[in-house]
Structure 1
Amino acid sequence: MTQELTSPSPAPRAPETGRDSRWWRDAVIYQVYVRSFADSDGDGIGDLRGVRERLPYLRDLGVDAVWLTPFYASPQADGGYDVADYRAVDPLFGTLQDADILVRTAHDLGLRVIVDIVPNHTSDRHPWFQDPELARQRYVFRPGKGPSGELPPNDWESVFGGPAWTRTDRGDWYLHLFAPEQPDLNWDDPEVHAEFEAIMRFWLDLGVDGFRIDVAHGMIKAPGLPDIGHGQQAQLIGTQVLPFFDQDGVHAIHRTWRRLLDGYGEAHGTQVIGVAEAWAPTPERLALYVRPDELHQAFNFQFLNAPWQAGALRAVIDASIAATASVGAPTTWVLSNHDVVRHTTRLGGGLARARAATLLMLALPGSAYLYQGEELGLPEVTDLPDEVRQDPAFFRGRRPGAAAGAAAADIPAADGGDTSGQDGFRDGCRVPLPWSGEQPPYGFGPGGSWLPQPADWRALTVAAQTGDPASTLELYRTALSLRRRLPGLGDGPMSWVSAPDGVLAFRRPGVLCTVNTLGRDLAFPAPGTPLLASTPVIVNDGSAVLPGDSCIWWAI
């Protein structure tokens, strides 16, 4: 049942002018996976009050905004991405009052708040799906094939493994591109459109600054729901247009939402944004999601999936910037999130390579997303026992490894990298954060934690790293501070500089960035004074040694 606030509506936000009105073009946005961030009540599950209490940490880290994963009422069949009521907070995470106070507190600290919205599917506990007649209007139902309809309507596979169809007691079938508990909505029904516009207005009225749109490429299916013709379809996501993903019809929905967001912003003297989680086969198709009349940002998963090789990274960077520039949008960079192996592990070079990749990302033009814990250098947890697993893909046999379901084996290994020991499921990147102390739960909350934390994380806690200039946390704090202070970083021009094989070098106004992707040191003419390095660098008489797997920012 939809909850009601018992406090006044949020105070109007101050009108934005100048650079603030385009804040999203170079913002650094921090993803909070709510259940794993901070637990305030001792039940072992992170909650909204825990997030609110830790907001000063995020302010001091230097980020511009916070993206919260779903905290709505849900049976939690897929970590809250199976929503039963989009206007209510699940009791696991608190109350609507807690959400209201969180947004107010974030604004007081100078942080914006982006919330998840899940429009491709709902929970099977949603009131629409519980009503048999409404369900057949507002979800994708089809008769089965075979003499008595005993076969699925087509050969589509769930991202989580197995058929994408489940048969009902009435003999027909409903589509679920994810878990069976997540039936796909029918976006041919005008009531579905109206409902999601109303949901957006509800949260905008509460004060949020934008929406991350889950499966933004998925709402429209090809007419006739044609067969694909072969299996292992999850491996095709992000490599080609599929009859259930990246159909051109999704763009009409996003144009409608952009008009809603712009209209709301104009009426309230602010700018609220839409962020697409969209898997597209090329940077050019991804750029369609951020045309001037569509969404503001789209995650660059091509960059996330690029191997740690200079040529491959440069190709992805060039293609990404060219594609978004063609529509006047910034590129949105990301290295880790709640659906992929953490990049400390995924890139295959350990913490040194992960630190270098982060400085590379933060030096590129556009916006960047950080995933909670990467600022601590957290690795993927690879030894979770089966009995604690909660990822539905684990139980259905699919190894997603990426937000849209690409198998872990399909994520390119870095040059010389080793991702052995990875099963590709998503629990390993969702282990709760270590805040302080010598043993689990490391200050996560007064009780335990919903997934066990490694016994060797004591040196990775926030408390252990704070004040240590060699720590990954302090590297992130320094990088974000420099990025905010130096006008040449963030949104703006970039040009490549000649460099040896295996090295990337590019110029931003007043700054030059060098990235040595090789596993060995290289001599290099010092282009200026080191501003920040992912690992110590030696400069003598105008010559520098670029350490292997390093990134250095130079003042020029």
Structure 2
Amino acid sequence: MITPARPMNEATMPTTSFGVLFLDIGMRALSLRSVTAVLEAPRRNGGRLIWMDWAYVLPHRPDDCRVAMNSKFFPPPTPGCEEWAVEPIPQPRQTLSIGAALAQGSAARAAFGQFPPLVGLEFSPESGRSLVQQRVFVPDARYPHHPRSPMQGRDMQQYRQASSLGSVSAALCKLAALAWLMAVLIAVGWLLPAAAGHTADAPAASPAWRAEKEVFYLIFVRSFADSNGDHIGDFKGIEQKLPYLQALGATSILLTPIVPSPMYHNYFASRFDDVDRAYGDLASFRHLAKTLHSRGMRIYLDEEIQYTAETHPWWAESAGHPESKYSDYILYGGPGNTSPEGWAGETYAGKSEGVAMVNLQAPAVRHYFDDLFVWWVDPHRDGPFDEGVDGFRIDHMMDDLDGKGKLTNLVAGFWAPLLSHVRTVNPGISVVAEQADWKTFGDDLLNRGDVDIVYAFPLRTAIVSLDRDAIAKAIKSTQDKTPAGKGQLIFIENHDTDRFASVVDGDPRKERLGAALTILLKGTPLIYYGQEIGMKGKQLHGRSDGNDIPVREAFRWTHSVDGPGSATWYRDTGPWWTDRFGRDDDKISVEEEQRDPASLLAFYRRLLALRHSRKDLREGDQEIVATDQPALLVLRRAYGPRESLLVMNFSPSQVTGRLPGNVLRVSQDGRALRDLLTNTNSASMENGRVQISIAPFGVQLLTVQ
């Protein structure tokens, strides 16, 4: 909760807390984004004032190595921590001194009129952090009728207890408190560089997008974990399995849609502002988000707002009623609100359900979705975001909805302004976009849509082919097509594709190749629930939405398909049950794999532990190494002096040979190369060349001893 600012001193600022003063100006018209000043206690940074762009403040405790600032300004990491886990800037943004920021603020005030401040001291006893905030919001010049700040003229009665900062007297008190704080800071010399007219040193914006440090775990909610015995996955079930996900190495969970819907997959909503009660209520979802954040994890929601089910009030109340207040919310093709644009589909239960296109260009619809996305991020309008989501996945993001020529220029005209608006509330959010065309690299969405990351679809197509040349080509093309500061989601399966284990006919060697490519390539890994234990599944080709149930079967927690926690909601409903892939005692379950050091689950855990512990694998450069071995794909990953060599054999034969000289920059003759996957000496340097021997469909991760 935001409360009036109060004096901060050694007693009120614990050793482990952060003091963060920032002006979140957020005005696109002046090309100025967030301006953040990070103020640490003098004993922590030698009295230096650090100006930088937005830094996401993580929970911080005395025994925790996580910091939200650039580590080069702070002491070495504490014993037992390999390195600081920092949160770099999401994307390059303008960084200013306080003098320049205030000058820009004055220009903004003159250009746009008054803008209300949001000032206060935020304190969260649970996280052990305290920080001072000032946020200044400016209207967007492109939408003069549409306020940028949720504090400007919004009817917030639909949300829980909006902030009380509308009071002029309260605002003046807060400004006075901020002025007092600034005076104290100047008195102790923290602002001397700015006071003398000099711009303080600022950390350079990192070109690497911060989500390269993330590992996404995609959960099909209905099928993941049942907590109450009704055989339907739910929020509490996910919460109970968070220790498993963290032990695996996941840092972020991505949930398939959770909104009410007549479809089992929840992709076509009956309401956008609620949750499917089979999964729990809003309170249980908020509790899940809060629990994730207390563990240092992030949560993303899958959003498909381009369509509604016929049970949605917008459609139900406007069809045939042009006088309805929702008259222009649905795209109709006939007079008098008839012939809605859309289609009818059959559910796995044999029922026909209509789907209609939402009129994303209607001003009221735009306004609604601006509010909706902010509500998911900051449900209480109080700023800590501990019960909100950390980002979104946009399903089938396209410029011309369904190619009908009726809703066009959506990438720059609808999505970019919407996501920009959400970032004025929480600049720390991340947005994943799924390309509607799986043959593209998504560079148009990255460049024009204000999204952070897209799906590496061409690379996935190459990987599942296990064609060495196709994979090498896709790696290079993906890198070339990805703008600086943006990312690609590296994956081999999801809820819309066949399971990789079925694609490779359950060959454990090929499953490990797929795992290594997912986790060790440059990009952000996405693991689909059950992928790590080798769950199988192939899509059917009938007429109903049951076709995808085989690739969305219940997660296998135990040796039995119906064991505790199993979400077998599709039992006895069709061929997806009778011909199901999961079978009792098939050796594909957490129970059967977790104590086996040779299991696929153990291999995934090893890969993810290496990725988290080594910057070369997480954030480093990537280079394809030329070799005269046609079956081998060799990649160098490097971050400063730390480097490793990923070697993969795509043939059914053992390969023994030599790699070119200088394949590892720091390597020396006579030094053994250790395979980090097996912790054995698997190669050596002789006469400037790497001598290797690799098994059929084998994978090695080599580094100099």
State TM-score, norm by structure 1: 0.75
Q: Partner residue of 1:38? A: 225
Residue 552 of structure 2 is aligned to residue 433 of structure 1: no
Alpha-carbon separation, structure 1, partners of 2:593 and 2:681 = 21
Cα gap change, 1:480 to 1:273, in 2 (>3 Å): same
Following superposition, the deviation at residue 175 of structure 1 comes to 1.9
Distance 1:363 1:178, change over 3 A: farther
Q: Which has the larger strand fraction? A: 2
The answer (yes or no) to whether the contact 1:537–1:544 under 8 Å persists in 2 is no
Identify the residue that residue 702 of structure 2 maps to in structure 1. Answer: 554
Compare relative contact order (CA 8 Å, sep 6+) and give the higher one, 1 or 2.
1
Letter in structure 2 aligned against 1:485: S
- Provide the rounded CA distance (Å) in 2 between the counterparts of 1:443 and 1:218: 44
Q: Is the 8 A contact 1:255 1:293 kept in 2?
A: yes
CA distance in 1, matches of 2:280, 2:532: 26
| Superposition CA RMSD, Å | 3.0
C-alpha deviation, 1:355, in angstroms: 1.4
Amino acid in structure 2 at the alignment position of 1:127? P
Q: Closer, same or farther in 2 for the Cα pair 1:262/1:549, shift >3 Å?
A: same
* 1:531 equivalent in structure 2: 676
Q: 2:101 maps to which residue?
A: none
Give the match for residue 231 of structure 1.
none
Gap change, CA 1:512 and 1:95, over 3 Å in 2: same
* 2:354 pairs with 1:181: yes
**Number of residues of Structure 1 aligned to a counterpart in Structure 2:** 456
CA pair 324-26 structure 1, distance change in 2 beyond 3 A: farther
CA distance in 2, matches of 1:485, 1:344: 27
* Bigger shift: residues 489-498 or 92-101: 489-498
Give the AA of the match of 1:379: K
Deviation of the 1:138 alpha carbon: 1.7
Which amino acid is 1:16 matched to?
Answer: A
Does the 8 A contact of 1:27 with 1:368 survive in 2?
Answer: yes
Q: Specify the code of the residue in structure 1 equivalent to 2:290.
A: R
Task: Tell which structure's C-alpha radius of gyration is larger.
Answer: 2
Q: C-alpha separation between the residues in 2 aligned to 1:110 and 1:292?
A: 31
Q: Does 1:255 align with 2:402?
A: no
Q: CA deviation at 1:444?
A: 2.7
Change (3 A) 1:293 1:340: closer
Equivalent position to 1:361, from 503, 513, 518:
518
- 2:451 partner amino acid: L
TM-score normalised per structure 2:
0.60
Summarize the alignment of residues 492-531 of structure 1 with structure 2, pairs less than 5 Å apart: 492-499=620-627, 500-509=629-638, 510-525=643-658, 528-531=673-676
* Kept after mapping to 2: 8 A contact 1:66/1:114: yes
Q: Distance in 1 between matches of 2:421 and 2:393?
A: 15
Deviation for aligned residue 1:537: 9.6
Change (3 A) 1:171 1:365: closer
Identity %: 23
Once residues 377 and 570 of structure 2 are traced to their aligned partners in structure 1, the CA distance between those partners, rounded to angstroms, is: 31
Letter in 1 for 2:69: T
Alpha-carbon distance, 1:38 to partner: 0.4
Per the alignment, in what secondary structure is the counterpart of residue 81 of structure 1? coil
Equivalent residue letter for 1:186: N
Counterpart in 2 of 1:20? 87
Q: Secondary structure at the match of 1:494?
A: strand
- Deviations along 1:490-517, one digit per CA (max 9) or x if unpaired, are 2331111122112110100111001111
In structure 2, the partner of 1:310 is 468
- Give the corresponding residue for 1:388: none
More displaced, 488-497 or 94-103?
488-497
- Cα distance per residue 1:338-363 (max 9 Å; x no partner): 11101112245733212112202211
- Distance apart, 1:459 and its partner CA: 1.6
User: How far apart are 1:289 and its partner, in Å?
Assistant: 1.2
Of the candidates 480, 486, 491, which is equivalent to residue 329 of structure 1? 486
Find the aligned partners of 2:424 and 2:340 in 1 and give their Cα distance.
Answer: 39
Q: Is the 8 A contact 1:283 1:319 kept in 2?
A: no
CA distance in 2, matches of 1:27, 1:441: 32
Structure-2 change in CA distance of 1:172 and 1:496 (3 Å): closer
Partner of 1:417: none
Q: What secondary structure is seen at the aligned counterpart in 2 of 1:67? A: strand
In structure 2, the partner of 1:373 is: 530
1:13 deviates by 6.1
**Aligned 8 A contact 2:498 2:538 in 1:** no
Q: Structure 1: how far apart are the matches of 2:314 and 2:359?
A: 11
Task: Report SS of the residue matched to 2:618.
Answer: coil
Question: Secondary structure of 1:193's partner?
Answer: helix
Alpha-carbon contact 1:27-1:367 (below 8 Å) kept: yes
TM-fit CA distance, 1:115: 1.0
- Per-residue deviation, 1:184: 1.3
Report deviation, 1:440.
2.2
Within a 5 Å distance, the mapping from 1:132-531 to structure 2 comes to 132=318, 133=321, 134=324, 136-143=327-334, 172-176=339-343, 180-205=353-378, 206-217=387-398, 220=401, 224=405, 248-266=409-427, 271-280=428-437, 283=440, 286-291=442-447, 294-306=450-462, 307-325=465-483, 327-347=484-504, 350-380=507-537, 394-396=542-544, 425-436=547-558, 438-445=559-566, 449-451=569-571, 452=577, 454-499=582-627, 500-509=629-638, 510-525=643-658, 528-531=673-676
Asked if 2 retains the 8 angstrom alpha-carbon contact of 1:360 and 1:551, the reply is no
Paired amino acid for 2:392 = F
2:68 is matched by which residue type in structure 1?
A: E
Q: CA deviation at 1:381?
A: 5.8
Segment drifting more, 64-73 vs 524-533: 524-533
Unaligned runs of 5+ residues in structure 1 are 1-11, 145-167, 226-243, 383-390, 400-424
Letter in 2 for 1:250: V
Q: How does 1:56-135 map to 2 (within 5 A)?
A: 56-75=243-262, 77-132=263-318, 133=321, 134=324
SS, match of residue 444 in structure 2:
helix
Which position in structure 2 is the counterpart of 1:236? none
